[in-house]
Structure 1
């Protein structure tokens, strides 16, 4: 009997991977074949299988030639085709199909929900023992509430903004409810934000945004956490689930499990790693979350009213919602009941993904954006401090607040028609009235609590006072020293610097265009550096070309000068101080 058991274990089991040519289906097929104990039937909507670069090491090609793998064309809307594929298989892995048109709700419903019903019935008719469904963490996300360390006790939301998540939830519920009926054991896996080589949605979507310049925007605060899952870890989880269904039917059958890399991080930090690794500019301009909601409403209107066929509204909604909310999940149940632990770390997964998408990388001309420092020339010119952050619009709300405040001050002092002293007095009076009015406000107005300012906000530390006094004394002494140097009449360089500076100041103040110049300078400061950072290479190239053309013009000009002037300029250029005495001696 023991010999028979050993012989049975040597016989490869037959499994079916529905959606085996999709992103996750490919990864699972390769892992099953590498294990060497499976006969794999790859089933998908394509009429014939095509081997490409993502089928690494020719594993699939060799398996097809040897008979360990076979391909079947199947339409999930046709139960008879499904029965023909899974007949005689012991386990079915139900993955995502490749022919999903996310702009066609009826088609999506027929493939995802009706397809799940057909798969369940076919498995029951063919006496398949195990059915494992690749679901999604989106099935518990309503699109408006954050999820912190969510576990399997989370219920399906009543309403979802993500159409695919809604349909996935319906299919998952059908498959889990079919557990232990007609000898079929089922379970579902819920990976979160899956990425990896050959992925066709997440990375290509944001690379396309980066190419259009839209990926520089951060929706919300940018502090929202997310869980990510490398594709190979998802495949590993499916194999763990299949083994667990064999031995732990009560604790695994009919259950769903969250699958992640167990390394939650800020969504925008993760996206920055991918885009930076591919040579694109990292997101840095923050947009309010409300603006993201308005964008969704606009996209929804465009999707319904304009009927744009190329407009992938569900995909955009899915990514915008994921990018602006916290979504982290607890994988303790998956670890306990199916024995899942990640086999590829997040860092390694990101590196492998970047390598696989090298064909989408930006031109090396822009490789400065993926440097370790990530600092642009504009940022270095501005000192890498708070001023740089404001003028380069790192935080849009902060920069806009400073810009608006400066515009108001500009109007107050220069455009109001008052003198500088009068404007200053009025400003101090306004500040006094505001502070007094704030102090006498009640603590509660119409249910809104008025936050009181702490008296410590008006305190100035001793260190700041000492520093200010020290700076004032230094400037006073420096100015007195310069005045004494001028009075002695020994330093002509100092005299000319002061004289020219005062003359220029007189010219500026004597003209009515001072107000215009200040206004232009204000607008220039908040636009020029930002524009320069966006088009640094183009501007540098243009300046270099101008210098080259200027240099060429100077050469042509000197060639056309009279010989006497040209030789004089040439001798002045070659003049060496060490040879001056010799030249003087020769003239005697």
Structure 2
């Protein structure tokens, strides 16, 4: 009878990091089971609940009925941890959501020193069980693939990011504390956790897609990975708690890998998420070594320019995940803690996509199918025949124009003749063709030749007048500039004219190269930009912001005299332009 009453009495547990991504899921699952009094502990000052969230609604009801409570905890403060866990039988040690990964010192204090404080508090408060949420990252060095890895894998000598290093240290501390002062411990190592509310894995790639960079596949794209839906991780924690209570020898002091048991290609998983949100699938392969060098270059530039908002370790971590195989064997978890996934990978992906509906984007296919919507480059080219030719709307017509222009380019610039002799030769050839066309019969061998009317070569008087007026305006404008130069007062105008003439001199020396580049550019650049408009705009935005930040940083580091000179120069020219406008009025 006493055993039965003990089973019916709710047990008290503490979820450290209960407002984080996995912490919320675990709290929700514990409350649904109905046999727990749950203490939610996190770093926030108060329990801020979202009434539209199912899990927060359940927690709100549990707080009202005293089945749940909230405790503010700073893991660096031993006394706060003691107050939160005193009188509990189980502590679930989850991630804290507000961890700033770029602050290495603070990360160490929270993750490593915090783990020591939690262990000591559990021992002092006579807590029986401590389950630590670790990660599969603790056995990954970022350089070597892991294929069907099990718990015999050792910690690597060196980690590529400090977060994995600190997590491994915290895990080792928790496992080493097993069976000291009656405390039983174990650790779970989920791989690539995702799900609704995820602020790391899925959010990282969605942000990349929004900026246009998720089109690139790092590495071969064939690397396999294990993924774990968040609810399966929380289910594994409850399984571990029950197993610690009954099977101490096979579970206590051990670590277990947790996955969905459905390994798949890493980039196939990313494609599933992005494609269902309306973004294009990654398709352009970039060697992992090249991606790594680019990352190092970006890191160096940010360090030299003094930017503090760039987190290199996070980017490096995801480059490693994206280019290496990481699959794990969960046989030990299945055998010793009775774990098996409660949500399949397919269902998990569907639920995650539904939770990210606010991040969906109209697919590129639908965008280009809408014939009424013109692209930026088509508007720039005037939406007429020129746009149709340069954007390859009719491949035959565009190729014909390109071939004709290329032949003319070869005739005038690559044939070795002078420009005048090339012009005279082609005019002579045209004259012979026209004369021959005029004397031949209108019908030859059954073929009818249509005569060309002289009106085809006539120019209207209006067009001639407009052309002469334009030339006259340009001439008068040039004369005014010459008069201004003759007075010797406008130095800025003199510098502009000198630079323009020098540019024309340089252009005349390499005219054939410039025209050749312009010809190729006209028939390729506009077409490429229309196809990759969002990606190019995203890159241009990043580049513009980087230049702007660099200029601001440079301005801050200039000597006071130089900064004063630039301010006075800008003010002088601003006043001058205002005076010119007033004079024109």
**Could you state the TM-score of these two structures normalised by the residue count of structure 2?**
0.65
Residue in 2 that maps onto 1:59: 58
Deviation at 1:531, TM superposition (A): 2.4
Residue in 2 that maps onto 1:20: 18
Distance 1:110 1:75 in 2: 10
Residue in 1 that maps onto 2:140: 141
Deviation at 1:489, TM superposition (A): 2.6
Residue in 2 that maps onto 1:157: 156
Distance 2:234 2:204 in 1: 23
5 Å matches for 1:64-75? 64-75=63-74
Are 1:49 and 2:47 counterparts?
yes
Deviation at 1:334, TM superposition (A): 0.8
- CA 1:195 to 1:538, structure 2 compared with 1: closer, same or farther past 3 Å? closer
Query: Would the aligned equivalents of 2:194 and 2:229 in 1 still touch at CA under 8 Å?
Result: yes
Residue in 2 that maps onto 1:101: 100
5 Å matches for 1:533-544? 533-535=531-533
5 Å matches for 1:234-383? 234-302=233-301, 304-362=303-361, 364=362, 366=364, 368=366
5 Å matches for 1:476-555? 489=446, 527-535=525-533
* 3-state SS in 1 of match to 2:221: coil
* 3-state SS in 1 of match to 2:13: strand
Residue in 2 that maps onto 1:125: 124
* 3-state SS in 2 of match to 1:143: coil
Residue in 2 that maps onto 1:227: 226
* 3-state SS in 2 of match to 1:189: strand
Q: Deviations over 1:214-240 (max 9, x none)?
A: 111111111111111110011011011
Deviation at 1:162, TM superposition (A): 1.6
Distance 2:331 2:526 in 1: 52
Deviation at 1:360, TM superposition (A): 1.6
Length, aligned pairs only: 415
Deviation at 1:285, TM superposition (A): 1.4
Q: Deviations over 1:275-327 (max 9, x none)?
A: 11111222111111111111232244356554533222222121111111111
Residue in 2 that maps onto 1:374: none
- CA 1:492 to 1:106, structure 2 compared with 1: closer, same or farther past 3 Å? same
* 3-state SS in 1 of match to 2:147: strand
Q: Deviations over 1:74-130 (max 9, x none)?
A: 010111111111111111000001221111111000000000000000001111111
Q: Deviations over 1:12-62 (max 9, x none)?
A: 000000000000000000000001010000000001011124443721111
Distance 1:414 1:491 in 2: 31
Query: Would the aligned equivalents of 1:92 and 1:130 in 2 still touch at CA under 8 Å?
Result: yes
- CA 1:304 to 1:538, structure 2 compared with 1: closer, same or farther past 3 Å? closer
Distance 1:524 1:86 in 2: 70
Distance 1:370 1:11 in 2: 63
Distance 1:343 1:93 in 2: 20
Query: Would the aligned equivalents of 1:26 and 1:55 in 2 still touch at CA under 8 Å?
Result: no
Query: Would the aligned equivalents of 1:96 and 1:134 in 2 still touch at CA under 8 Å?
Result: yes
Query: Would the aligned equivalents of 1:218 and 1:284 in 2 still touch at CA under 8 Å?
Result: yes
- CA 1:536 to 1:251, structure 2 compared with 1: closer, same or farther past 3 Å? closer
Q: Deviations over 1:232-253 (max 9, x none)?
A: 0110110111111111111111
Deviation at 1:212, TM superposition (A): 1.5
Pick from 17, 38, 52 the counterpart of residue 36 of structure 2: 38
Deviation at 1:530, TM superposition (A): 3.3
Distance 1:39 1:369 in 2: 52
Deviation at 1:4, TM superposition (A): 1.2
Query: Would the aligned equivalents of 1:303 and 1:313 in 2 still touch at CA under 8 Å?
Result: no
- CA 1:263 to 1:65, structure 2 compared with 1: closer, same or farther past 3 Å? same
Deviation at 1:272, TM superposition (A): 1.2
Query: Would the aligned equivalents of 2:211 and 2:535 in 1 still touch at CA under 8 Å?
Result: no
Give the superposed CA RMSD.
3.3
- CA 1:332 to 1:70, structure 2 compared with 1: closer, same or farther past 3 Å? same
Distance 2:412 2:74 in 1: 72
Pick from 4, 7, 19 the counterpart of residue 6 of structure 1: 4
Query: Would the aligned equivalents of 1:281 and 1:370 in 2 still touch at CA under 8 Å?
Result: no
* 3-state SS in 1 of match to 2:189: strand
Structure 2 segments unaligned to the other structure (5+ residues):
370-374, 376-406, 417-442, 453-510, 538-585
Structure 1 segments unaligned to the other structure (5+ residues):
372-376, 378-409, 420-485, 497-512, 540-588
- CA 1:231 to 1:110, structure 2 compared with 1: closer, same or farther past 3 Å? same
Residue in 2 that maps onto 1:392: none
* 3-state SS in 2 of match to 1:328: strand
Residue in 2 that maps onto 1:479: none
- CA 1:87 to 1:77, structure 2 compared with 1: closer, same or farther past 3 Å? same
Distance 1:116 1:264 in 2: 31
**Could you state the TM-score of these two structures normalised by the residue count of structure 1?**
0.65
Query: Would the aligned equivalents of 1:16 and 1:43 in 2 still touch at CA under 8 Å?
Result: yes
